Each structure stands twice: as structure tokens, then as C-alpha cells.
Amino acid sequence: MEGNILEKAKRIHLIGIGGTGMSGLAQLLLSMDKKVSGSDNNPSRVLEKLKKKGIQVICPQKEENISKDIELVIHSHAILPDNPEYMKAREYNIPLLSYPEAVGCVMEKRKGIAVAGTHGKTTTSSLIVSILKDSGYSPSFLIGGEIRNIGNSEAGNSDLLVVEACEYKRSFLNYKPEIGVVTAIEEDHLDY
């Protein structure tokens, strides 16, 4: 990424923050001392959890949620270019990153372990995180499911980062891991 815009930004807004990946990314960014806000269209338990951690969460998505002091906007794949917050960010010339581009930025200065494949990504990622933690490592991780008593993301104290690498819209091509794990290969996501 161009000089790693995510690393430079202090104030970051996530459109679609209620999704599994986006909520995990929000928590990782918060642990990186970023001022994090986000929006979603529907209230949920996930949003309440984020609020309790100090993340400003707004429902619903509307252009007023985007202010000129925001330095970076991250959006999920579910967000279309006609989304009011997306359009306002463009109007204000605020840089936009997709979720996989942002994860790629987070991985840049870490030893990445990316788990890809048609089936088993969440289970395999969870196992890797559990093994690393039980072995005395303190990995950061961002995965698509909740690990019991841990959650779906955590900022560890080591330079290890475990991510679930989704193949949808070739998302995993944004990641440059040191280790890649492929669980299974089948025809999938041929519809985009």
C-alpha cells in the first residue's frame, strides 16, 4: 500500500463495522492506538460489544457520519459505491480502503500466517491461534469466527499475525504472508 496509509492515519471510520471481519479489524485498530468509529445499518450484539470497548458506533449509515477530520475510511465488500458514507468520504477526498486492503496494510510489518481455502478456514485459523498461544507466543489474529474465551481478534505482543484469507473477489491477493495455508480447493465464488 502507498506508504501504508493505515499506519499513518490516526482517525479511522469503518463502514459496515458490524460484520465479523470488520468488527475484528476495528478492535485491532483500537489496540494500535487509532481513534476508531464505525457504522452499520442494524443494531446488534456485536455493535454493543464494540461500544463497550470504546469504539464510537453509529446506526444507521448516513452521510452525516463522515466528518472532515476522518483520515481513512475502510469499507466492507457489502458496501456499494452509492452508500451515503462512501460517497461523502469521496467528496471529502478521504482515502478509502476495502477490508482486505486494510488487512494487507496491517500485515505489512508482521509475520503473516494466512489461511485460505473453500472450507475450514475459521477452524484452521482458530487451531493455529490456539497452538501459538499455548506454545507461549502472543499472536495477533483476525478470523471469521469467535474462539471461545478469546473472540475473533486480538492484538498480541509478538510480530505474528494470523488471518483468515477469504477468496471472495480475490481478497487474499492483498495479503503478503510469510506462511500460507490452503485447506481445500473447490469451485466457489464464481458469481462475481
Type and span of the H or E element at 8: helix 5-8
> Helices marked H in 32-98 — which ranges?
45-52, 84-91
What's the whole-number mean pLDDT along residues 140-158? Answer: 87
Exactly one of 164, 167, 186, 187 is catalytic; which is it?
Answer: 164
Whole-angstrom Cα distance, residue 111 to residue 88? 35
> Helix/strand/coil (H, E, C) string of 165-182?
CCCHHHHHHHCCCCEEEE
2-6, 69-73, 121-125, 170-174: range with highest mean pLDDT: 69-73
Exactly one of 34, 121, 124, 154 is catalytic; which is it?
Answer: 121
Q: Which residues, including other chains, have CB under 8 Å from residue 133's CB and lie 6 or more apart?
A: 139, 150
Exactly one of 122, 176, 183, 186 is catalytic; which is it?
Answer: 122
The reported pLDDT for the residue numbered 174 is 72
The helix/strand/coil state of 12 is: strand
Does 4 or 133 have the greater pLDDT score? 133
pLDDT per position as a tens digit, 117-148? 878 889 999 999 999 999 999 999 999 888 77
The reported pLDDT for the residue numbered 149 is 77
85 is catalytic: no
Confidence grade of residue 191 (pLDDT, cut at 50, 70, 90): low
What are the cell numbers at 121? Answer: 478456514
What rounded mean pLDDT belongs to the chain? 90
The reported pLDDT for the residue numbered 189 is 55
* Class of residue 101 by CB neighbours under 10 A (exposed 0-12, middle 13-18, buried 19+): middle
What's the whole-number mean pLDDT along residues 8-20? Answer: 96
Confidence grade of residue 168 (pLDDT, cut at 50, 70, 90): low
- Percent of the chain exceeding pLDDT 70 equals 92
Within 13 Å and on the Cβ side, how many CA atoms surround 107? 26
> Helices marked H in 17-143 — which ranges?
20-31, 45-52, 84-91, 99-107, 121-134
* Predicted model pTM: 0.89
The reported pLDDT for the residue numbered 1 is 43
pLDDT per position as a tens digit, 45-100? 999 999 999 999 999 999 999 999 999 999 998 899 999 999 999 999 999 999 99
121 is catalytic: yes
Domains, the chain, in order of start with CATH, read 5-102 (3.40.50.720), 110-182 (no CATH)
- pLDDT higher than threshold 50 for residue 4: yes
124 is catalytic: no
Confidence grade of residue 190 (pLDDT, cut at 50, 70, 90): low
Whole-angstrom Cα distance, residue 154 to residue 4? 21
